Amino acid sequence: MTNGRLGVLDIGSNTVHLLVFDTTRGRMPVPSVSDRSVVRLMRYVDDGGAITEAGIGALSTAVSAAMARARKAKVDELLVMVTSAIRDAANGEAVLARLREQIGLDVQVLSGPDEARLTFLAVRRWYGWAAGRLLVLDIGGGSLEIATGVDEEPELAVSLPLGAGRLTHDLLPDDPPTPGQLARLVEVVDEQLHPLVGRMAQLPAPDHVVASSKTFRSLARLAGMRTPGVGPEPRWRMSAEQLADWVPRLARIPAEQRVELPGITPERTYQIVAGAVVAERVLARLGVETVEISPWALREGALLRHLDRS
Question: How many Cβ atoms from other residues are within 10 Å of residue 7's Cβ?
Answer: 26
Q: At 138, which helix (H) or strand (E)?
A: strand 134-139
* 285 and 247 together in one domain: yes
8 Å CB contact between 223 and 238: yes
Residue 293 domain flag? yes
Structural domain of 214? 112-298
Mean pLDDT of 217-231: 85
Task: Give me the mean pLDDT over the 138-147 stretch.
Answer: 96
With respect to residue 29, please indicate whether it lies within any of the assigned structural domains. yes
| Adjacent-strand bridge partners of 209 | 135
From 61, 91, 109, the end of a domain falls on: 109
Q: Region 168-189: what's the mean pLDDT? A: 97
Q: What are phi and psi of 85, to 5 degrees?
A: -60, -45
> For 56-94, what is each residue's pLDDT tens digit?
999 999 999 999 999 999 999 999 999 998 999 999 999
pLDDT of 309 higher than 90: no
Q: How many domains does the chain have?
A: 2
Average pLDDT score over residue span 141-169: 96
Q: What is the amino acid identity at position 40?
A: R
pLDDT at 1 over 80: no
What average pLDDT does this structure show over 148-166? 97
pLDDT at 3: 77
Q: How many beta carbons lie within 10 A of that of residue 53, not counting itself?
A: 9
Residue 287 pLDDT: 97
Q: State the chain's mean pLDDT as an integer.
A: 94
For 8-38, the pLDDT digits (tens) are 999 998 899 999 999 988 888 989 999 999 9
Residues 105 and 123 in one domain: no
